[in-house]
Structure 1
Amino acid sequence: MEIEILVVPDCPHQQLAESRLREALDDLALDDVGLAGTGFTTRVVGGQLEAERSGFTGSPTFLVDGRDPFAEPGVPPSLACRVYRTPGGLAGVPEVGQLVKVLRAAVDTGGGV
């Protein structure tokens, strides 16, 4: 499984996004769902053309096997900050439980979301 976090330069949520994704992967490794040792990369999106090619709809964007599990229909590619709907309200990063859910779904479907 390939996991990426896409961010704009100097994204204020990059560290929190990486920390929460690491925690979600650690939680899933303990559950033995086949993600033990899975890592991720963080990539900086530097321009609108790259945002359009990557399906980048704001920073940070999480991609699982090239797909955005949090994509909302009709949101155009953008070099802006992203807002996520979480159980605690709107936030700049999904909660760990949300990340666990999308990663588990990707494993259950054989990759992708």
Structure 2
Amino acid sequence: MNMHPAIPLIPSPRHGLAVHQPSIPERSAMIELLIINDCPNSAPAKDLFLRALALEGLDPRSLAVKVIENDDDAAAADFHGSPSFVMDGQDLFPATGEPAVSCRVYATETGLAGLPELDVLRRAIRAA
């Protein structure tokens, strides 16, 4: 008997018992981390983005890292500093101002930081 009708049950061929198979939302998105050379937050940003993607049920292997090397690259990518978290061409943390090859800071509960907080990044991913 299924005590939780909203949870899909699949018969187990070995035991004939119902086994819950968790579902992962299917979403195909272009996911990019935009950075500049020598950015001290590049590696931590990649780790953070990979973790957030996995927690949101998105394939972390779909993350592409792109290095912004000059002002032309920055303008073409609408790049507002390193690191920038992008899904489907949209910055997850929209910024005003002119694109630039620069570092970026994020507002956190403890002040400005080189990375957003994990829960804030997860909410931005869900909203994208």
TM-score, L = length of structure 2? 0.73
Greater CA radius of gyration, 1 or 2?
2
Q: Where does structure 1 differ by over 4 angstroms across 4 or more consecutive aligned residues? A: none
Letter in 2 for 1:8: I
User: Out of 108, 111, 115, which is 1:86 matched to?
Assistant: 108
What secondary structure is seen at the aligned counterpart in 2 of 1:5? Answer: strand
Q: 1:23 matched to which residue of 2?
A: 51
Report which of the two has the higher share of strand: 2
Deviation at 1:2? 0.9
User: Out of 53, 58, 61, which is 2:84 matched to?
Assistant: 61
Kindly tell me the number of residue pairs found equivalent between the two proteins. Answer: 99
- Which runs of 5 or more structure 1 residues have no equivalent in the other structure? 30-34, 107-113
What secondary structure is seen at the aligned counterpart in 2 of 1:72? Answer: coil
Letter in 2 for 1:88: T
TM-score, L = length of structure 1? 0.82
Report which of the two has the higher share of helix: 1
User: Out of 25, 35, 40, which is 2:63 matched to?
Assistant: 40
Q: 2:75 matched to which residue of 1?
A: 52
Deviation at 1:88? 2.5
Relative contact order: is structure 1 or structure 2 higher (C-alpha 8 Å, sep ≥ 6)?
1
Q: Percent identity?
A: 37
